[in-house]
Structure 1
């Protein structure tokens, strides 16, 4: 046996939190003296958020169901995702300390629902840039496709720990984007992301203050899908004649005299727009 004084950890995950008495949860976290995140396996925001008074963090199961529903097919429910985001913000005391996830050991892996890589990229990008703490389940970066337990608990060694895998590189870049946003904006982590525009297949999210905001354009068009949209300055907060970079594709754009921006979604992949001035020295899209 060992105690937390003998090892260095910055947080605990408490499994099956709903099966533990709420007073005991509070006592466990207090005794540990570190952040704790609990698993309340339920899609009801009121029920899940109701545990936040007893434990600091919670796995964001309601958002997990919304992300999965929105991006697992080209007919996914974007409106439900929009509503779910707003519901969690109004129901939970603090969404910034929830765990944002797409896969875990209890649910079918996302690629078991669809093999479309563009849909996977959108779902992961949304998860990584949502409010809260991103949680990646081992093998997610390798596009493992196990369905129900135990098929979703594949041995990671079978992948050869491939750091050239498409989703490994995708997650690494998203992590770098998130790190940059945190460095540039002291309030980024506590800024509640919100939808600024949606249609049947697309949701545009904003997170962060003016000049350092991250604008994510996520869609469920699939790998064969393309679309054009105009992002209004009133939604994005971008200034007139401003250089903006899609940090995933390293493609540069310039807003018009009003700050509006015309963008094209190609091959159904997500876009993450950020100020060109803010990326200097970051190593992102500078070459």
Structure 2
């Protein structure tokens, strides 16, 4: 009966086979299957993070809890690898609950469910007009010795693997041919230059995508495979491919995007720059951020396809690095409203604070899926972004920095101006970010985050004061928001139900801008860049 229901669902929801252009319009919520949700009636496990073991999440439990993701405005999910993982005694590093220790990748991971249940998940995702991205591991398999029994893997011949050597991370050839992991849990490196390997991988990925109706792939450790492998592999997949290139350098990461590599890469250079600019305590190095934004424009084939993130399963939670919630709100807002595809790692909205693996892989259910302040901010940002994408060419418009100093950044993308700061939560009555907006004098701009009005002064100048702390400000011409559902569309407030303090910044024509700047004793004087 289940198979019949799945078949009917798939007939009702045609394969999306989503392209890069289509993924550009999406925002992604990343899930580790084992940690996201439990099935109804399941016994709640203790789930001790340091044990690095199974906690009980399944594909069915993701399907049962998609409302939580979709209600926040996300239009795609990314789930952890679905292939069979190591099966054997518990290792010194725990169990493969995460999915990144592949064995025979032709088989599904029985811990997460059956083929029918995975198809039911993808069918339900598509019924909601969402996309599904699946994580895959191509570079390596997992073993418990340096001389593993190859009969348990898809590739069973010694020639299908590079000989063992430890990785020298200062040498790209070594990174691509030597074994990740260590001698306790080695990760034998698949020889992706071998013709048989190339052929079998191409057949496998085409079958996986078509069988389970997958819309996109996130590729683990993409840098550890020679870039020349990826074009044919991606063509066989026939869907959007985003690679992991774990490196802070734009010049390095950008090499893996384009016709000779992959559609997209995770934006690690931006991740590190956001840390440098916004974490508290931290260096508050805003110039590092503007530098990365500038370098990215020059180096990447298409910045609008990059995967923007603050957290994932390989790095510490933002709240572990920064004690101030506004630091995350500001950094996150940039990821949503600048070039690229926003990605939120499950639990970020709950301010989880785990350090590195395994502590950054907390179960989500103890949060009771509370719609926190961070969740509501994500909802607002997604609502705005989805509206812009559905009504304009905003997604393909370039991001341009309007102004920047040590504590403030204003940038424009399409018809939206975003103003960010790294001063943190405490109110600062005399701190201000001022910039020349794209709007003529007397234009009413709405901050869609707080539903406040700003009025452009002579020359289009707008100032943002931080009397309520260093909150992000996202401005749009009030007439542009009609139909968005945000701030009563234009903040007309005909019924007075959303009465907010109306802020007029540099708007009074009988008070020259120079007089106001003299009056404000502590001002961030931001020069145009």
Question: What TM bracket, shorter-length normalisation?
Answer: over 0.9
> Structure 1 residue 200: deviation in Å?
1.2
Q: Which residue of 1 aligns with 2:275?
A: 68
Q: Would you say the 8 A contact 1:96–1:131 is kept in 2?
A: yes
Q: Which residue of 2 aligns with 1:6?
A: 211
State the TM-score, normalized to the length of structure 1: 0.93
Separation in 2, partners of 1:197, 1:191: 18
Separation in 1, partners of 2:280, 2:240: 35
Q: Would you say the 8 A contact 1:184–1:278 is kept in 2?
A: no
Greater RCO, 1 or 2 (C-alpha within 8 Å, sep 6+): 1
> Structure 1 residue 58: deviation in Å?
0.3
Separation in 2, partners of 1:165, 1:121: 12
Q: Which residue of 2 aligns with 1:215?
A: 417
Q: Would you say the 8 A contact 1:86–1:194 is kept in 2?
A: no
Q: Would you say the 8 A contact 1:100–1:130 is kept in 2?
A: no
Q: Which residue of 1 aligns with 2:300?
A: 92
1:138 aligns with 2:343: no
Alignment partner of 2:463 out of 262, 273, 279 = 262
1:157 aligns with 2:359: no
Q: Which residue of 1 aligns with 2:443?
A: 242
Separation in 1, partners of 2:227, 2:435: 45
Within a 5 Å distance, the mapping from 1:1-287 to structure 2 comes to 1=107, 3-53=208-258, 54-73=261-280, 75-162=283-370, 164-186=371-393, 188-208=394-414, 213-226=415-428, 227-232=431-436, 236-265=437-466, 266-286=468-488, 287=498
> Structure 1 residue 281: deviation in Å?
2.0
Q: Would you say the 8 A contact 1:142–1:159 is kept in 2?
A: yes
Number of residue pairs the alignment of both structures matches: 278
Please, which runs of 5 or more residues in structure 2 have no aligned partner?
A: 1-106, 108-206, 489-497, 499-529
> Structure 1 residue 62: deviation in Å?
0.5
SS in 2 for 1:86: helix
Tell me the alpha carbon deviations over residues 24-51 of structure 1, each in whole angstroms, 9 at most, x when there is no partner: 2212211010110000000111111011
> Structure 1 residue 178: deviation in Å?
1.1
Q: Would you say the 8 A contact 1:203–1:219 is kept in 2?
A: yes
Tell me the alpha carbon deviations over residues 70-104 of structure 1, each in whole angstroms, 9 at most, x when there is no partner: 11026410011001100011011111111011100
Q: Would you say the 8 A contact 2:315–2:355 is kept in 1?
A: yes
Separation in 1, partners of 2:287, 2:325: 22
Q: Would you say the 8 A contact 2:209–2:215 is kept in 1?
A: no
SS in 2 for 1:40: coil
Q: Would you say the 8 A contact 2:408–2:433 is kept in 1?
A: no
SS in 1 for 2:441: coil
Separation in 1, partners of 2:411, 2:405: 12
> Structure 1 residue 225: deviation in Å?
4.3
Separation in 2, partners of 1:192, 1:255: 23
